[in-house]
Chain A
């Protein structure tokens, strides 16, 4: 089966750094995605990892360890606008089904 776990809620302070973890057990692996979703809006693509290591994109970085079934999203220099839900999603078997399996999301609250 498919299982993706991430914390339900996190709180951090403006200007700080926060790490959102994601662990997964899926049948097959063909990439892990992070999406940001503000309340009442569509998820927007943040990052993609398919090989082990760190991918950096401005204030956001994402890390993957395939052997551990583990990823994290790192947000630096937090801003109030970063308050949102962060969704971890895995693409499993690359033949046929291309759909993503999503975790329940981590709701991040950035405080002044």
Chain B
């Protein structure tokens, strides 16, 4: 596609519910990243997928968070038993891994999650 797409753009949920956020990376980009941006704060790394390698989950804040990437393309971030502190904008980015500027991450528009 033309760019990274994410859905839904906005999600309001009640505390304790599970949510799924979807990311469609740029076609041909084998690397995919999830970040979280809380109000007034910088982007916080969550998880990284590259091809068929095991994902780097070092940024996931708790075991309530998980993500998968099917067929090396679309990714889903799942948050179980949501808490109010999970409220943030969840951003997905993709890139072509390599040297230098070729490995530039391009971001999707994000999903704004509000947990009531």
Contact = CB atoms under 8 A, between A and B. Distances in A.
Interface of A: 4, 31, 33, 35, 41-45, 48, 50, 87, 89, 91, 96-105
Q: Which of B44, B104, B106 has the most CB of A within 10 A?
A: B104
Nearest to A43: B107
Contact of B41 (A35, A42, A99, A104): A104
A104 B42 contact: yes
A33 B106 CA distance: 12
B91 interface: yes
A87 B101 CA distance: 16
A61 to B, nearest CB: 15
How big is chain B's contact interface, by range? 20 to 34
Nearest to B107: A42
Contact of B108 (A42, A89, A98, A99): A42
B57 to A, nearest CB: 11
A43 B106 CA distance: 8
B56 A99 contact: yes
B105 interface: yes
A42 B109 contact: yes
Contacts of B42: 4, 87, 102-105
